[in-house]
Amino acid sequence: MPSLIDSFQQAGQGQVFAFLDQLDAGARARLLAEAAEIDLAEVARLNRTLLAGGAAAFELGDLVPAPYEALPEHGGSAEAWGRARAAGDAALTAGRVAAFTVAGGQGTRLGYDGPKGTFPVTPVMAKPLFQVFAEKILAAGRHYGRPLHWFIKTSHQNHEATEAYLAEHRWFGLDRGRVHLFRQGRMPAVDFQGKILLEQPGAIALSPDGHGGSLRALARHGAVDLMAAEGIDTLSYFQVDNPLVRCVDPAFIGWHLLGGSEMSSKTVPKAYPEEKLGHFCLRGGRLAVIEYSDLPLALQREVGLDGQLRYRAGSIAIHLLDREFIRRVTRPNSGSELPFHRAEKKIPTVDAAGRPVRPAQPNGVKFELFVFDALPFARRPLVIETRRADDFSPVKNAEGVDSPQTCRDDQLRQAARWLAAAGAAPPVDASGRPPWPIEVSPLFGYDEETFGRRWRQLPAPPAVGAGLYLE
Ligand code: UTP
């Protein structure tokens, strides 16, 4: 069997070891360990399919908007939603569901120094994202009498910092034994000739393999087996940047289970045609998400006979995954491997003398997997509508749309709505935002219903005013 170095040479990737002689023993060992992570056959395949000939035009194929299950206020059957809700409640009571946060991104747009989950996000207490999710998961566990397992996918870059942070905060009240952190895989960046780039003389330019890498990471790190051992068949997937998300949503879970679906996704109607959300479509008869950058503007703007956008079903990156489906799509040669996508990037590297190079223009390609690419492989996949105001307000950018400010405002509007529904209407502006900060701990109420119940039980409800925190 050829040595690792030989196999890199045979694959035309010997440049990875160009500076090996100059490295000390520790640095050599680290470089060899990084090289051992790389699947050279996979890199060769990606170079052939995604690199040669440049970025291929996206093939739309035979495309129509995907059908979805509408909310009762948009024409859905209230009775069917009631049945779904009951089925989801039963599944949660039976302990069949676990929560799953993908937190392996680099968060470059936010520009925050540290794992994104540690970013303070709530309006009064400045709780970090991880605390918001932990408290929602804790509250749901108490409500259903079955504490939930919580899987968190980290990256090599932020794993230790994430673990140390959660430990320092005593797992925000959760049972340590039910919180499972694992690292996602990495992929090497290549130059436009397909050569694997070095970031430093002793380090390969490796980056996280995308949120679609979640599925392989779940299988590789034993999460799927743990789910089986614990009687969990459904995984509730959400992103680390969205504090409004219902970490486990009984009606969504019920639709998924009653429909015998292997993967289900939430949708919100796009707020305006050019909104940067993926679109749920049927492509060649199979459910798929088409990114906003791939769907021609004319289609994004197309209006149907009912006066609504035809391609209005936007993806907000909330999914349910069946355990055995994860096992199936991650099995080698299953025929259902997720496709990689290429992204041209400015990748810090070294020149022939080993000196650092910080390119001003893209100098290579990173390969990433997207989780929604699993949908076409799923049996009976479903798209279920949700109310944006109760499920989606991501923190992506430092300023402007999808920023800490817009997310804070959405949290304030939610608290005001819940208070109004419970009969304590605070004053609000035209956008529904109260004049002062109000925050509801998930442990007080994690949706309108649990909030209302708790509020009405208070012997003396507090005055609704500046800086209110309900705990
Ligand atoms: P984004 O696409 O917003 O990427 O990730 P990002 O890396 O967080 O942010 P930018 O683009 O650098 O500004 C959406 C979700 O997918 C996770 C992120 O942590 C976030 O929850 N993700 C992304 C991963 O877990 N791994 C990845 O490789 C990429």
Please state whether the predicted TM-score (pTM) of the whole model is above 0.85. Answer: yes
Any ligand 1 atom below 6 A from CB of 183: no
**Inside any domain, residue 275:** yes
Distance separating alpha carbons of residues 130 and 161, to the nearest angstrom: 13
pLDDT (0 to 100) of residue 1: 56
Pocket test for ligand 1, best of 116, 157, 214, 241 (most atoms within 8 A of CB): 241
Any ligand 1 atom below 6 A from CB of 240: yes
Q: What is the CATH number of the domain that holds 118?
A: 3.90.550.10
Residues of the chain with pLDDT below 50 are: none
What integer best gives the mean pLDDT of the chain?
A: 95
Strand arrangement of the beta sheet that strand 190-191 belongs to: 190-191, 364-369, 340-345
pLDDT (0 to 100) of residue 152: 98
Tokens at residue 463, please? 């005055």
**Inside any domain, residue 35:** no
**Inside any domain, residue 434:** yes
Looking at the 3D structure of the chain, how many domains does it have?
2
**Inside any domain, residue 11:** no
For residue 116, how far is its CA from the centre of ligand 1 (angstroms)? Answer: 9
Non-local CB neighbours of 426 within 8 Å, separated by 6+ positions:
416, 419, 420, 434, 438, 464
Same domain, 357 and 429: no
**Inside any domain, residue 180:** yes
Contact between 251 and 84 (Cβ < 8 Å): yes
* Closest alpha carbon to 342 in 168, 196, 209, 235: 209
pLDDT (0 to 100) of residue 54: 64
Minimal-distance CA residue to ligand 1 atom 25: 104
Same domain, 316 and 281: yes
Non-local CB neighbours of 113 within 8 Å, separated by 6+ positions:
none
**Inside any domain, residue 230:** yes
Same domain, 366 and 410: no
Any ligand 1 atom below 6 A from CB of 241: yes
pLDDT (0 to 100) of residue 337: 85
Q: How many helices (H) and strands (E) does the chain have?
A: 13, 21
Minimal-distance CA residue to ligand 1 atom 27: 210
Q: Which domain holds residue 122?
A: 63-401
For residue 353, how far is its CA from the centre of ligand 1 (angstroms)? Answer: 33
Same domain, 331 and 212: yes
pLDDT (0 to 100) of residue 56: 63
Any ligand 1 atom below 6 A from CB of 153: yes
Any ligand 1 atom below 6 A from CB of 224: no
For 379, the enclosing helix (H) or strand (E) is none
pLDDT (0 to 100) of residue 57: 65
Domain boundary residue, one of 364, 385, 401: 401
Any ligand 1 atom below 6 A from CB of 210: yes
Cα-Cα-Cα-Cα dihedral sign, residues 270, 275, 278, 282: positive
Contact between 408 and 123 (Cβ < 8 Å): yes
Same domain, 446 and 456: yes
Domain boundary residue, one of 343, 374, 401: 401
Non-local CB neighbours of 201 within 8 Å, separated by 6+ positions:
18, 19, 22, 23, 350, 354
Domain boundary residue, one of 356, 377, 401: 401
Contact between 320 and 237 (Cβ < 8 Å): yes
Same domain, 71 and 142: yes
For residue 184, how far is its CA from the centre of ligand 1 (angstroms)? Answer: 12
Same domain, 357 and 376: yes
pLDDT (0 to 100) of residue 467: 78
Minimal-distance CA residue to ligand 1 atom 18: 105
pLDDT (0 to 100) of residue 52: 79
Same domain, 392 and 425: no
Tokens at residue 360, please? 């001003």
**Inside any domain, residue 5:** no
Same domain, 312 and 425: no
Same domain, 306 and 432: no
pLDDT (0 to 100) of residue 471: 87
Cβ atoms < 10 Å from Cβ of 325: 23
Same domain, 157 and 82: yes
Same domain, 407 and 369: no
CA 101 to ligand 1: nearest atom: 21
Q: What is the DSSP string of 251-312?
A: HHHHHHHHTT-SEEEEEEE-SSTT-S-EEEEEETTEEEEE-TTTS-HHHHH-B-TTSSBTT-
Q: DSSP class of residue 123?
A: T
**Inside any domain, residue 34:** no
